[in-house]
Amino acid sequence: MAMFAKDDLKATELTLGLPGCARGNKRALANDTNEEPKSTNNTTPDAKKFSNDDRENAPPTKAQVVGWPPVRSYRKNCFQAKKTNAEAEASGIYVKVSMDGAPYLRKMDLKVYKGYPELLKALEDMFKFKVGQYCERQGYNGSEFVPTYEDKDGDWMLVGDVPWEMFISSCNKLRIMKGSEARGLGCAV
């Protein structure tokens, strides 16, 4: 627990560089770690890089075709992310969430969310801010707030680059960056 406290102080320290600068900005490499979906979807002209209908602003976790497979929306919400072993369902993935300028941190259970849109909405509700529009190339546009997370390597990554499952298994903590620091991370290198 003491370890976490130390890290938090570090996060609020005044620095001139971007977080994670000491180890170089890993964001440029994030795309390499994206899993390419094992399907013929990407090679066909008909494959569209649209997300699922109910994730309009979300970064796509794989190239999904609108309305395919033909499953009604109310079914999709039911069983996605259902785990078959009871232990997995019982234990949550609780991570600390900080926002630049907020007096105290919060804790969230990442298992509760089925994907990025839900998580981002929850963050927006919790801290009363609006996140910008995500695009793969440039990160979040249109807001001074940028959601980031610390991964298992200790690097600060942009939320949304990697597939959801990979994200929740590698996320140590979340940080909503604000202001000039955020802009630095959010823009294309």
Partner 1 sequence: MLRMASSFPEEVLEHVFSFIQSDADRNSISMVCKSWYEIERWCRRRIFVGNCYAVSPRMVIRRFPDVRSIELKGKPHFADFNLVPEGWGGYVDPWISAMAMAYPWLEEIRLKRMVVTDESLELIAKSFKNFKALVLSSCEGFSTDGLAAIAANCRNLRELDLRESDVDDLSGHWLSHFPDTYTSLVSLDISCLGSEMSFTALERLVGRCPNLRSLRLNRTVPIEKLANLLRQAPQLVELGTGAYSAELRPEVFSNLAGALSGCKELKSLSGFWEAVPAYLPAVYSICPGLTSLNLSYAAIQSPHLIKLLSHCPKLQRLWVLDYIEDVGLEALAASCKDLRELRVFPSDPFVAEPNVSLTEQGLVSVSGGCPKLHSVLYFCRQMSNAALTTIARNRPNFTCFRLCIIEPRTPDYLTLGPLDAGFGAIVEHCKDLRRLSVSGLLTDRAFEYIGTYAKKLEMLSLAFAGDSDLGLHHVLSGCENLRKLEIRDCPFGDKALLANAAKLETMRSLWMSSCMVSYGACKLLGQKMPRLNVEVIDERGPPDTRPESCPVEKLYIYRSVAGPRFDMPGFVWTMDEDSSALRLS
User: Nearest Cα to 33, choosing from 181, 152, 130, 138?
Assistant: 152
Binding pattern to partner 1, positions 75-114, x when CB under 8 A? xx-xxx-x-x------------------------------
Residue number with CB closer to partner 1 (34 or 143): 34
Q: Are 151 and 50 in contact (CB under 8 A)?
A: no
Q: Quick one: tokens of 79?
A: 């069983």
Contacts of 39 (CB under 8 A, 6+ apart): 62, 63
> What minimum distance in Å lies between the beta carbon of 124 and partner 1?
21
The correct pick among 25, 52, 98, 148 for binding partner 1 (CB under 8 A) is 52
> What minimum distance in Å lies between the beta carbon of 36 and partner 1?
10
Contact segment (CB under 8 A) with partner 1 among 72-80, 93-101, 140-148, 169-177 equals 72-80
Q: Convert 129-148 to b/e letters by CB count within 10 Å (16 or more is b).
A: bebbebeeeebbeebbbbbb
Chain contacts with partner 1 (rule: CB under 8 A): 37-41, 44, 46, 52-53, 61-62, 64-76, 78-80, 82, 84
